């Protein structure tokens, strides 16, 4: 579903702007690094377990048959690198993310670069930070003086959400809730998704001083204390355009209007993950909501922009890595 106020041509032009700005930033701060969700707190192996005895209306796509799928789960912070070779400290305000790559998934896919995967990407805030694709494109220009004062004022809600995104203090990425922010098909219906830890952490007043305390908290939990982590995976159904709008991405879908319905469990067994081979695997992986079965196709203009943006950034990053492997390049500060 496309924003009716923008033509397809206008939408493509705005997406071109976003991609060009993102590629410039990626080239400047680290061409072989992710431009968004750069900092990983850990890539973990786990299981995506479909609930048994789901009612017929929930037996859709990945949830059609109760079974256990292997999965890779990546935890991250949303921001780009501060500068070349310097990642943000975990103590700085930022949104936290979880990306789930379910494997051995049969069925017709939208993208053909991965044959048997289903990806879910979620953040630690329930909405996207811009209302639509036009605001998303303009927010990239806000710091360069290209926007009028009137336009800056129109983007005030986006700036307010960006401030809220990082205001929540997170002590351990394994112990919080995440949301898909944007809507997706669920067969003939439309849903948003949420992943919620079965053991939510208590509210924090202070944060550890270590720049990498989020990874350290996960190492302590999964490796040193030898504990498993469990998340509930929910869907939340579209009701109507007033309560659960498709294109107004900054309006939260309230659980009082549309409750969360559990369809799966994400199990992360205790494990060692803080070693170089796993980190290299992490850097090579590509997560996108468009690695998906047709039944779970992303919906809305922001998701449409993510299709090209994520693919272009990943392709550029992988080309840079491959080029350096083929032939070293001169140092470029």
- Give me the pLDDT at residue 144, please: 64
Q: What is the distance between the alpha carbons of residues 180 and 184, in angstroms, rounded to a whole number?
A: 9
- Give me the pLDDT at residue 186, please: 98
- Give me the pLDDT at residue 73, please: 98
Superfamily of domain 8-326: Catalase core domain (2.40.180.10)
pLDDT along the chain (333 residues), means of 10: 57 75 67 75 98 97 97 92 79 92 96 94 91 78 76 87 81 96 96 97 85 97 98 98 93 97 98 95 90 94 77 70 65 56
The full set of domain ranges for the chain reads 8-326
- Give me the pLDDT at residue 210, please: 93
Q: For the full predicted model, state whether its pTM sits above 0.85.
A: yes
Secondary structure class of 156 (helix, strand, coil): helix
- Give me the pLDDT at residue 32, please: 64
Number of Cβ atoms within 10 Å of the Cβ of 249? 25
Residue pair 81/30 in contact by the 8 Å Cβ criterion? yes
- Give me the pLDDT at residue 212, please: 96
- Give me the pLDDT at residue 291, please: 94
Residue pair 14/309 in contact by the 8 Å Cβ criterion? no
Rg for the chain (alpha carbons), in Å? 20
Tokens 């991405």, residue?
Answer: 249
């Amino acid at each position: 579903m496309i924003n009716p106020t923008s033509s397809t041509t206008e939408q493509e032009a705005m997406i071109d702007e976003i991609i060009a700005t993102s590629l410039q930033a990626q080239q400047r701060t680290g061409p072989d690094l992710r431009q968004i969700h750069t900092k990983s707190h850990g890539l973990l192996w786990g299981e995506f377990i479909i609930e048994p005895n789901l009612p017929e209306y929930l037996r859709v796509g990945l949830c059609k048959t109760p079974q256990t799928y292997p999965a890779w789960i990546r935890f991250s912070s949303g921001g780009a690198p501060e500068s070349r070779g310097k990642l943000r400290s975990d103590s700085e305000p930022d949104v936290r993310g979880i990306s789930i790559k379910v494997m051995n998934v049969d069925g017709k896919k939208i993208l053909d670069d991965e044959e048997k995967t289903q990806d879910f990407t979620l953040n630690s805030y329930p909405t996207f930070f811009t209302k639509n694709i036009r605001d998303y494109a303009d927010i990239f220009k806000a710091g360069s003086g290209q926007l009028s004062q009137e336009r800056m004022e129109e983007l005030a809600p986006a700036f307010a959400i960006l401030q809220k995104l990082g205001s929540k203090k997170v002590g351990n990425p394994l112990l919080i809730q995440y949301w898909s922010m944007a809507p997706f098909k669920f067969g003939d219906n439309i849903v948003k998704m949420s992943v919620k830890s079965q053991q939510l952490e208590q509210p924090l007043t202070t944060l550890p001083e270590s720049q990498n305390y989020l990874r350290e908290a996960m190492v302590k939990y999964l490796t040193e204390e030898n504990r498993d982590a469990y998340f509930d995976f929910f869907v939340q159904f579209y009701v109507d355009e007033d309560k659960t709008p498709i294109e107004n991405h900054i309006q939260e879908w309230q659980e009082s209007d549309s409750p969360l319905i559990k369809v799966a469990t994400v199990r992360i067994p205790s494990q060692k993950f803080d070693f170089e081979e796993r980190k290299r695997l992490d850097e090579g992986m590509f997560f996108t909501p468009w690695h998906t079965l047709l039944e779970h196709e992303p919906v809305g203009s922001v998701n449409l922009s993510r299709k090209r943006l994520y693919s272009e950034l990943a392709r550029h990053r992988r080309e840079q890595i491959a080029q350096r492997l083929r032939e070293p390049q001169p140092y470029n500060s």
